[in-house]
């Protein structure tokens, strides 16, 4: 297995840097540019799907301060993005969080960080497949004008078969490599952003004409997070907001396939973040101005419509014809994210296998398509099996599994942020830039996410959190979230017996970079 140089890059002079066992994995180099990388990051987040599923919930928690909470959720994501950028510059490795935390904290912490990313992605994939299935039949019902067609989504057998078919299609596209992925994503992401822009424009027009009784005038006080009525409401809204940004790091997972591997993915991540926060703020403000954030009528917090805001607003805001386009955009958003979300999980598994942290069979790259073929297929099978079992066992369990997702996200993002500061600890006082981007910003981001992790863990103990179900008096969301992390620990112990070299630090070595000599 050849080694991939993490330094030097052109123009740098380096003394004494150990490559620490970082390896190339046979992925197709230079197959993704800056635009393609940014599109992958945006697509994985699924902005239109996130908005339709969380606008109402966030408004219900924080009221008119929804835009402020969107900004508050953006802050820790931005700070963590700086950590990803700095680590990627010296180690453009497809294992991203797994590889970087191993290099900073050692094999066990790194393994658990990789597990957090993998299990979070499997949960998201299953959820996205379910949403895409629901919107497929909802759109079919709108097009045919038949309520019976739309009602097919309520048939459990039809729903599961359709869901498995969508997962199979997404897996097949991902299996055929980055070229096929990019072609699909340019179309689907472009469609999402265009329809979202039309919705914002028409919502503002409706607000200006006073078309809805619940509409309200814009106020800059909406941007003040300190105006949220309680800290509990703020943290609940913040947790939802953080979920809305999850997935931007997918463009870092393709770093070994990206032109300018050390810099392009980091820039793409920041571009994706700016597009996302802009889209969320514009849509949130426009929707709030048009229909308000109350719980009556078309108000965003109406419990009858808050879990699918665009389904309620499509016709009233955009009319019967363009309203269908909004349904198409939500379906496109879920389908696009379903396909690109295979990228980080497959490449993380590939990296873990390449470094002997998982069975060797997952380290195989398809000779023609240059993708981690087996890892991609297994991720698809795992997603289909997970969704089918959870749906058949209990829809409450499936809902609670999705609620537990926030725990996984905060877990591996925070670890990666702290890994950046620790890995570069010898460089922090070399310059003001190094101190800010390699130390201060990542640590702040990690602390914010750790606080959300702790608060979420505390809230999960209450059976009222999530679906309201409990196991021996403990909230089922807590049992699922903590249980999945403990399951990772058990699997790690099994792998430690099978691959002792990795866990002794002999394969991917823990180290600290030596200083770069300035010109």
pLDDT tens, residue by residue, 295-327: 888 889 888 888 788 888 988 999 888 888 888
Distance CA 365, CA 6 (A): 21
Q: Above 60 in pLDDT, residue 3?
A: no
Q: For 406, list phi and psi in degrees, rounded to 5.
A: -55, -35
Q: At CB < 8 A and 24+ separation, what contacts does 480-485 make?
A: 480/397, 480/400, 480/401, 480/404, 481/403, 481/404, 481/407, 481/408, 481/457, 482/407, 482/457, 484/119, 484/404, 484/408, 485/112, 485/115, 485/116, 485/407, 485/408, 485/411
| H-type alpha helices, 341-439 | 342-354, 373-393, 395-403, 405-423, 432-434
Structure tokens at 103: 């290099």
Strand partners for 63 = none
The residue-averaged pLDDT of 79-96 equals 93
Distance CA 166, CA 161 (A): 9
Distance CA 469, CA 209 (A): 45
The residue-averaged pLDDT of 104-120 equals 94
DSSP 471: E
- State residue 311's pLDDT score: 83
- State residue 154's pLDDT score: 87
- State residue 402's pLDDT score: 73
- State residue 445's pLDDT score: 95
Residue reference for tokens 């979230």: 481
Strand partners for 450 = none
Q: What is the rounded average pLDDT for all residues in the chain?
A: 86
Instruction: Please name the residues in contact with 75: beta carbons below 8 A apart, sequence gap of 6 or more.
Output: 445, 448
Q: Encode pLDDT of 334-365 as tens digits.
A: 888 887 888 889 999 999 999 999 998 898 88
Strand partners for 3 = 23
Please state, for a pLDDT cut of 90, what percent of the chain lies above it: 43
Q: Encode pLDDT of 133-162 as tens digits.
A: 888 898 898 888 888 998 998 899 999 999
Strand partners for 258 = 32
Rg (CA), the chain: 23
- State residue 455's pLDDT score: 86
Confidence class of residue 8 from pLDDT cuts 50, 70 and 90?
very low
**Structure-model confidence comparison of residues 420 and 458, the more confident one:** 420
By CB neighbour count within 10 A (0-12 exposed, 13-18 middle, 19+ buried), where does 516 fall? Answer: middle
Q: Above 50 in pLDDT, residue 181?
A: yes
Residue reference for tokens 């931007």: 248
Q: For 431, list phi and psi in degrees, rounded to 5.
A: -160, 165
Q: Encode pLDDT of 424-476 as tens digits.
A: 999 999 999 999 999 999 999 999 999 988 988 888 888 887 767 878 888 88
- State residue 16's pLDDT score: 28
Instruction: Please name the residues in contact with 306: beta carbons below 8 A apart, sequence gap of 6 or more.
Output: 55, 56, 57, 59, 60, 300
- State residue 398's pLDDT score: 67
Work out the angle at residue 366's Cα, subtended by the Cα atoms of residues 361 and 372, and round it to the nearest 5 degrees. Answer: 60
DSSP 363: G
Candidate from 222-226, 236-240, 486-490 with smallest mean pLDDT:
236-240
Distance CA 427, CA 436 (A): 11
Candidate from 66-75, 230-239, 354-363, 370-379 with smallest mean pLDDT:
230-239
**Structure-model confidence comparison of residues 26 and 286, the more confident one:** 286
Work out the angle at residue 281's Cα, subtended by the Cα atoms of residues 279 and 285, and round it to the nearest 5 degrees. Answer: 120
Q: What is the pTM of this model?
A: 0.86
- What's the distance, Cα to Cα, between the start and end of the chain in Å? 33
């Amino acid at each position: 297995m050849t080694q991939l140089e993490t330094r030097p890059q052109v123009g740098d002079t380096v003394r004494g840097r150990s490559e620490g066992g970082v390896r190339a994995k046979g992925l197709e180099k230079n197959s993704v540019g800056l635009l393609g990388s940014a599109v992958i990051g945006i697509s994985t987040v699924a902005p239109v799907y996130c908005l339709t599923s969380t606008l109402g919930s966030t408004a219900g928690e924080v009221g008119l301060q929804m835009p402020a909470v969107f900004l508050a959720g953006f802050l820790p994501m931005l700070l963590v993005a700086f950590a990803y950028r700095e680590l990627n510059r010296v180690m453009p490795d497809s294992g991203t969080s797994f590889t970087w935390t191993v290099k900073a904290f050692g094999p066990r912490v790194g393994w658990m960080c990789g597990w957090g990313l993998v299990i979070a992605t499997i949960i998201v994939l299953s959820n996205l497949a379910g949403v895409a299935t629901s919107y497929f039949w909802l759109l079919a019902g709108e097009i045919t004008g038949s309520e019976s067609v739309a009602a097919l989504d309520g048939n459990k057998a039809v729903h599961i078969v359709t869901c498995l078919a969508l997962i199979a299609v997404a897996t097949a596209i991902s299996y055929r490599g980055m070229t096929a992925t990019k072609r699909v994503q340019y179309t689907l992401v472009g469609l999402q952003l265009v329809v979202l822009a039309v919705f914002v424009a028409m919502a503002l027009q409706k607000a200006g004409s006073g078309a809805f009784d619940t509409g309200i005038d814009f106020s800059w006080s909406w941007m003040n997070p300190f105006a949220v009525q309680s800290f509990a409401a703020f943290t609940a809204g913040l947790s939802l907001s953080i979920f809305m940004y999850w997935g931007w790091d997918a463009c870092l997972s393709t770093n070994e396939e990206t032109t300018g591997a050390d810099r392009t993915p980091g820039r793409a991540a920041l571009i994706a973040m700016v597009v996302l926060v802009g889209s969320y703020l514009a849509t949130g403000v426009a929707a709030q101005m048009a229909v308000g954030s109350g719980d009556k009528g078309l108000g965003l917090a109406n419990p009858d419509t808050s879990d699918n805001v665009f389904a309620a607003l499509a016709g009233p805001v955009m009319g019967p014809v363009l309203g269908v386009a909004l349904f198409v955009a939500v379906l496109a958003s879920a389908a696009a994210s379903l396909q690109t979300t295979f990228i980080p999980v497959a490449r993380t598994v590939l990296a873990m296998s390449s470094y002997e942290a998982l069975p060797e069979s997952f380290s195989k790259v398809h000779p023609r398509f240059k993708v981690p073929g087996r890892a991609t297929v297994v991720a698809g099978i795992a997603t289909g099996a997970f969704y089918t079992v959870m749906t058949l066992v209990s829809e409450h369990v499936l809902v609670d599994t999705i609620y537990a997702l926030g725990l996984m996200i905060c877990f591996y993002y925070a670890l990666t942020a702290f890994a950046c500061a620790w890995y570069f600890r010898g460089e922090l006082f070399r310059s003001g830039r190094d101190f800010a981007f390699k130390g201060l910003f990542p640590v702040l981001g990690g602390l914010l996410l750790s606080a959300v992790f702790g608060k979420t863990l505390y809230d999960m103990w209450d059976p009222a959190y999530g679906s309201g179900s409990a196991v021996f008096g403990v909230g089922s969301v807590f049992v699922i979230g903590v249980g999945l992390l403990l399951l990772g620990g058990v699997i790690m112990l099994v792998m430690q017996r099978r691959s002792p070299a990795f866990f002794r630090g002999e394969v991917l070595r823990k180290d600290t970079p030596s200083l770069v000599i300035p010109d």
